[in-house]
Amino acid sequence: MQIYNINQHQLKDFPFNLNSSLSDLLKKNFSYNQNIINSVNEIINIVKANGDQALIDLSCKFDQANFTTFEDLIVSQQEFDQAEKSLDLQVKQAINFAFQRIKDYHLKQLPKDFSYCDQLGVDLKNSWLPINRIGVYVPGGIASYPSSVLMSVVPALVAGVKEIVITAPSSNSQINPAVIYASKICGIKKIYKIGGAQAITALALGTKSIKQVDKIVGPGNAYVAIAKKILFGEVGIDMIAGPTDVMIISNDQSNPNWIAIDALSQLEHGEDSKAFIVVDNLEFANKINDAINSQKTNLSRKNIIEKSLKNSAIMVIENLVNAIEIANFIAPEHLQLMVDNADFYVDNITNAGAIFIGEYTPEAIGDYVAGPSHTLPTSATARFASGLSVYDFLKRRSIINCNQKAFNNIAKSASIIAKCEGLTAHQLSIDIRNL
């Protein structure tokens, strides 16, 4: 990982006074290859034209499956039972533990309805309702993620969503038993062995055998993200997810080996993952870099990490307080704080998907058992977006009730504004009631 020294002058008008290679690295935003966009559009059109048969054919093509009928795409009751029976007891206990913690956290997010009668006699209400039907995409391929089931499904359950279906790419026509078990304890009845853009298209538009959903959530690869982007509007989506990232701000009293493995834990996700580490001591930066180089050799995804390290950097600054400005520019998906007076940093860093405080709160603990959903805004979208929550599965309704007296109290101002806008029918709709 490259180490960069940043002086006070370079911090002014950050990041535009930086070394050009670091500036380019920090400003580099995730963009999708046009070839992938073209492929996704082609897949969408194929699914539109051929429905269920397209899902069978595309699953065989991209996931090396051997499906022949649509029933082959559905996880059977036997597979549900076998997953629970075959899965290691400790894994099941860990999944159950995580389920309960995630549920407990999201129960506290449930918003309350309110109603009141204002001083002019208008009755006003705000009420919350769950979305009817949700599709959850669970990634597969390079890895399989039972944690993504819990982090996407549990907030929907807490919100009161009645119908939830899952799609996940298969491997050798099978779904990871841990994914099936996590789905089962969430009460999921239907899992489709479908991945990629074809899964998103089926959920967004529906086919003969798959009912259209109202919203799609869950992370995926570039094909999944592009399909969600193209089909947004046909269906609601949670976010357009790019590659994962982590930022770590640390003083030189922290353990460099811990910082190194925390960075590597994000970099192993994919070749386009990123890690940014900010410290105030060059010697300490070198210790972290040495630890990264040492630890990566023993990791199963060393080849992926070697490539994602090229997207990453260690920054050395004179005063760690200036890391606040850096963090607000990067807007990291995950932010780890290993500093004194962490509350000061929390209060002043406004752009971060999730914040992990102290040496004993690695980002990985948030991936599995802390409680909040690990589906978080990527590619600097933490500037305006939040992580997945109960709110993503709820709709708000405004309810307005005027009797004649209340109407008369507010109608004149409404009529004046309608006239100002040149909307004469609007004005007459109001004025006719006073004729």
> Which region holds residue 13: left if phi is over 0, alpha if psi is between -120 and 50, else beta?
left
Provide the token pair at 115.
């109603």
HSE of 149, CA atoms in CB hemisphere, 13 A: 28
Q: What is the C-alpha separation between 291 and 283, in angstroms, rounded?
A: 13
Give the C-alpha distances (Å, rounded to integers) separating 342 from 348, 358, 383. 10, 8, 20
| Known catalytic residue at 271 | no
**434 touches 408 (CB < 8 A):** yes
Q: Which residues contact 307 (CB under 8 A, 6 or more apart)?
A: 271
Pairing of strands 114-117, 2-5: unpaired
**Angle at alpha carbon of residue 370, lines to 106 and 229, rounded to 5°:** 65
Q: Residue holding tokens 């860093």?
A: 349
Strands 354-357 and 334-338: parallel
Active site (annotated) includes residue 359? no
Q: Is 121 left (phi over 0), alpha (psi -120 to 50) or beta?
A: left
Single out the catalytic residue among 106, 269, 334, 374. Answer: 334
Task: Report the C-alpha dihedral over residues 3, 8, 9, 12, rounded to 10 degrees.
Answer: 100
Sign of CA dihedral 6, 10, 11, 13: negative
Which phi-psi region, left, alpha or beta, contains residue 380 (left: φ > 0; alpha: ψ -120 to 50)?
Answer: left
Give which of 271, 244, 273 is closest to 333, Cα–Cα.
244
In sequence order, the β-bridge partners of residue 394 are: 130
Q: Which residue is catalytic, options 106, 268, 333, 363?
A: 333
Q: How far apart are CA 432 and CA 355, in angstroms?
A: 56
Q: Give the number of other Cβ atoms within 10 Å of residue 292's Cβ.
A: 24
Active site residues: 333-334
